[in-house]
Amino acid sequence: MSDASLLETLVSKEVVYPGAIIRLEHWDVTLPNGHHALREVACHPGASAVVAIDDQGRVMLVRQMRIAVGRLTTEIPAGKLDSAEEDPLDCAKRELSEETGLQADSWEKLTCMETTPGFCNERIHLYLATGLHSGQSHPDEDEFVDVTRMPLRQAVENVLNGTFRDGKTCLGIMMAAAKLASSK
């Protein structure tokens, strides 16, 4: 099957809800068979997330309430870009500092993931940060987090056994573990 037989063509967009974090749009698309269809798209400016590993091989994690899923989660530090033009690396550095009080000497891009491409255009840039040193955390005023350190080996086990269910955290931990293992 050729790619052309799968492509949709955007005809028009309409903002349905101009939210503070996401903007909901209705997109009219032409399908490969010539018919039209409605796509509901959650538009997001993007985000960055950090797998920060200390000299003892521990990953920095933040525990926080995620009311949308109704539970406390354990995640890698992350946050949304201030604008679509913000450098994702600058965002990653800011979020690591805000949420953990840490800074890093070395930064490496792991990937850019598309979180839920069936209905959302959010992309999260994942980074590996090493050479960590302390500073002062300064979370946003509506952000309450508990910072914890966990051996990377245990974090990988928590991904594999389903304890960690956050997509960016799972992908970031697995990619960082693979990268660090291949560099030994």
Catalytically active residues, by annotation: 141
Q: Which long-range contacts (CB under 8 A, 24 or more apart) does 158-161 make?
A: 158/74
Reading the block at residue 31, the tokens are 């399908």
As a whole number of angstroms, the distance between CA 184 and CA 176 comes to: 13
Strand arrangement, sheet containing 146-151: 71-75, 58-66, 146-151
Q: Is 162 left (phi over 0), alpha (psi -120 to 50) or beta?
A: left
DSSP 52-71: EB-TTSEEEEEEEEETTTTE
Alpha-carbon span 2 to 166, nearest angstrom:
34
Rounded Cα–Cα distance for residues 54 and 60 (Å): 8
